[in-house]
Chains A and B, each alone.
Chain A
Amino acid sequence: MFNLHRLILFYRSLFLTIGGLVVSLILIVLVLFPAVSGLRNLYKALPRLETEVAELEVKANLLAGVDPQVLQQNLLVLTSALPTEKSLPTILSTVEGVAGKTGATVVSIDLQGPGSLASESAVAHLPTSKFPAQRLTAEVMVRGEVEQLKEYLGLISKVRRLLTVAKFGLNTTNPANATLSLSVNAYYGALTDSSGALKLTPLSTEEENILSIVENLPSMSTFALTPAAPLGQVRDNPFAP
């Protein structure tokens, strides 16, 4: 005991130095290193947060600048071009409407596999295909003068209800009574809402062009789509007229 006390007294200054060294090393390891790590994490998180805030600012400004009435009108126009459901009446009336406009006569319309008449929400969805819209094919036979049929062929894919010609055959052997057989695709697709996405970009020039084109396409269908009820508004009495 006496020897230990003596030893401590003898090497006192050396022990103090070593103690100071050990404490400084412990502080560096236990305080400084974690602090550096925390600072680095904060430094990394900042740009991400800045980007998010910038995107949210763009989104907020964009939403502040749009009129919901205009958006509803746009949506109505677009769903008249591409309905949410099969909308067989609009297909038939458009095919007839184009014939009426051109003076040709529709001889037959054969809808290929119209399938379920249930609304899209009631139909079990198939696994996602590459093409997000679904289509119905109608085989149409039209009769008339050559010029009428040419006009019909040109006009059928330039009407509000989105129809594309898959196949066609124009027979003009008898110019006064020529025939045109068409295979027309009519598209439809459910409304897909991806609300909550962080990024929201304004309509591009191309999108605005498409909107403008669709708006200006003549509507040949006699079936007008009624405006959809504004989202988020719930009627007090759903059975009220």
Chain B
Amino acid sequence: MSLPTINLLKRSSRLPPVVLQWEKHLGRLTIYLWIFFLLSGILIGTSYLILRGRYNKLLASKISLTTEISNQSEKEALFLLVKARLNLISKIREASWSLDKLLAALTSFAPASTLRSLDGDEEKEINVVYQSGDLGEIAAIIQGLVVLSQERQIRNPELKSLTIAADEQIKLTVAFTPIL
């Protein structure tokens, strides 16, 4: 026959209601956080795998293309040299003026015999001296310069001097800047 035992501790006890309320809220919050963690983990993991796959593919393409290009380094160097040269030549050509067009324009309205001198400086200002015994020719030259100005082939046309010598020779000095 077994001896009788006495358990002085309560087998179950109830928590105070406030603590129970807190426990309930915290339990719910914990579940939400775990769900959030798991769902976010799945989402982030999936996204990472997709992006990483794409990244690796691109990286492989980059390595392959880089190898392909480095095998053609001679061509690349030549191509870049040609481009650099063209760039330089383009800049020099932009800075230069085409005198054949200017000469063609200047002689289009004035007989060649009237041209006495033609000067151009680095500021691209042109000075022209015409001389003729015929006032009509000189008038035609002035008119021609006006037309060139109106056609925007020259700018700032300026009549520097107009002299009539004792031998009835008329000397006309004009200055302008060509836009040619």
Question: A residues within 8 Å of B by Cβ?
Answer: 6, 10-11, 13-14, 17-18, 20-21, 24-25, 27-28, 31-32, 35-36, 38-39, 42-43, 45-46, 49-50, 52-53, 56-57, 59-60, 62-64, 66, 68, 71-72, 74-75, 78-79, 81-82, 131-133, 146-147, 150, 153-158, 162, 164-173, 175, 187, 189, 191-195, 197, 200, 203, 206-207, 210-211, 214, 230-232
Contact = CB atoms under 8 A, between A and B. Distances in A.
Interface stretch (B109-117, B132-140, B148-156): B109-117
B97 A165 contact: yes
Contacts of A211: 82, 86
The size bracket of the interface on B is 35 or more
A153 B87 CA distance: 25
B26 A18 contact: yes
Interface string B125-137: 0000000000000
Given A39-B44, A63-B69, A75-B81, A81 B103 contact: no
B15 A63 contact: no
A104 B140 CA distance: 30
Nearest to B23: A14
Nearest to B48: A39
24 contacts: A6-B9, A21-B26, A21-B33, A24-B30, A25-B33, A28-B33, A42-B48, A42-B55, A46-B54, A52-B62, A53-B61, A56-B65, A59-B76, A63-B72, A64-B72, A75-B82, A78-B86, A146-B112, A157-B96, A157-B99, A169-B118, A193-B84, A195-B73, A207-B90
**What is the interface of chain B mostly: helix, strand, loop, or mixed?**
helix
A56 B69 contact: yes
A162 B68 CA distance: 37
Given A32-B44, A35-B44, 20 more contacts: A11-B15, A17-B23, A20-B30, A24-B33, A42-B52, A42-B55, A53-B62, A57-B65, A60-B69, A66-B75, A78-B85, A154-B99, A162-B92, A165-B99, A165-B120, A167-B122, A170-B117, A191-B85, A195-B76, A231-B77
Contacts of B44: 32, 35-36, 39
